[in-house]
Amino acid sequence: MNLAIETVDLTKKYGSKVGCAEICLRVSRGQIFGFLGPNGAGKSTLVKMLVGLLFPISGKASLLGRPLGDLKVRSKIVFLPKNFAIMIGLPVNNCWISTPLCTA
């Protein structure tokens, strides 16, 4: 199977509080996928781990068949949080901020 995302027992804690616990996930390339759940369920924590903004304390993940954090994969990811401030008149800079490792 050609996977876009795979996680195995991915876990993140904030001190003694668990943000995500042992998340196992497989998403095929081309599959439309979303996270649903109540506040505090770990949706944002999981996404932030997948894009490299947070680091898991245990488990592993891969994106496009490469380990989490691989620069080739990270250069293809754009993460725009819901409170993203856009710089009016600077569309190139807006894209660069969201993908600082992008080479193209």
Evaluate whether residue 103 is within a structural domain: no
Residue numbers of the domain that contains 67: 3-98
Give me the percent of the chain exceeding a pLDDT of 70: 78
Evaluate whether residue 59 is within a structural domain: yes
pLDDT of residue 93 exceeding 70? no
- CATH number of the domain at 59, please: 3.40.50.300
Our count of domains for the chain comes to 1
pLDDT of residue 34 exceeding 80? yes
Find out whether 70 and 49 touch, Cβ atoms under 8 Å. Answer: no
d(CA 58, CA 15): 14
pTM of the model: 0.72
pLDDT band of 60, cuts 50, 70, 90: very high
Section 7-12 average pLDDT: 95
Evaluate whether residue 104 is within a structural domain: no
pLDDT at residue 28, rounded to an integer: 93
